Chain A
Amino acid sequence: EVQLLESGGGLVQRGGSLRLSCAASGFTFSNYGMSWVRQAPGKGLEWVSGLSGSADSTYYADSVKGRFTISRDNSKNTLYLQMSSLRAEDTAVYYCAKDFAWGYYTDYWGQGTLVTVSS
């Protein structure tokens, strides 16, 4: 059974930094692309970033480019999102998601972790 467990969310001041983690199990982690998707309170889904299984290809939404960095440790089956220069509009639930294959749709999602940026 695929399981994705996010952690690291919390309250942070505007301009601050935070690192999210996603512990994966139930599949061969290094074989799959992974994504972060966020959802602001009461709003829709926004794709944030994606990373290939071998970590040699990354993509970012324009809204986070230059401020967020996605990475992974395949030896620990863990995905990360390093967030810096945080803004009030980054307040959201952040979901970790497994891609069916690199560059394809997301087929499994974690339960999310809430990041709140205070001004």
Chain B
Amino acid sequence: EMVMTQSPATLSVSPGERATLSCRASQSVSRNLAWFQQKPGQAPRLLIYGASTGATDIPARFSGSGSGTEFTLTISSLQSEDFAVYYCQQYNNWPITFGQGTRLEIK
């Protein structure tokens, strides 16, 4: 099973600043990597797929990069609505697996 490891577990950032979240795969997943945002009491929302392609209606401040085993989600200028938990998901191999999540909190 592909293990996805996200870091850090919690990230404290001030509004308006940049946030950088990491996701590492135990083996190469090529670019078959998605990012999701989840707010309390809500279902996850797709942000990025194919490692770097923004999903429909996702603001341009969200960007993804990486390939193989190392991936990054960057939020360029944090807005109040961006404070949430973020998950990466690999879909290169069965079973599909998620990272354990990064909680982005207000500093």
Knowing A44-B101, A105-B89, A105-B91, the reply to whether A35 touches B96 (Cβ < 8 A) is yes
Give Cα A13 to B42, complex, Å. Answer: 27
| Size bracket, chain A contacts | 20 to 34
Knowing A95-B43, A105-B34, A111-B43, the reply to whether A44 touches B98 (Cβ < 8 A) is yes
Q: What A residues does B94 contact at CB under 8 A? A: 50, 59, 103
Q: B100–A107 contact, CB under 8 A?
A: no
Q: A45–B44 contact, CB under 8 A?
A: yes
- Number of residues on chain B facing chain A (CB within 8 A): 24
B97 at the interface (CB under 8 A from A): yes
Q: B46–A107 contact, CB under 8 A?
A: yes
Binary B-proximity of A15-53 (CB < 8 A = 1, otherwise 0): 000000000000000000001010000001111001000
Q: What A residues does B46 contact at CB under 8 A? A: 105-108
B59 at the interface (CB under 8 A from A): no
Q: What A residues does B45 contact at CB under 8 A? A: 109
Binary B-proximity of A72-112 (CB < 8 A = 1, otherwise 0): 00000000000000000000000100001001111111111
Give Cα A62 to B2, complex, Å. Answer: 12
Knowing A44-B87, A105-B34, A106-B89, the reply to whether A62 touches B44 (Cβ < 8 A) is no
Q: In the complex, how many angstroms separate the beta carbon of A27 from the nearest chain B beta carbon?
A: 14
Q: A112–B95 contact, CB under 8 A?
A: no
A11 at the interface (CB under 8 A from B): no
16 inter-chain pairs at a CB distance below 8 angstroms, sorted by A residue, are: A35-B96, A37-B98, A44-B98, A44-B100, A44-B101, A45-B89, A47-B89, A59-B96, A60-B95, A61-B95, A105-B34, A105-B46, A108-B46, A109-B43, A110-B43, A111-B42
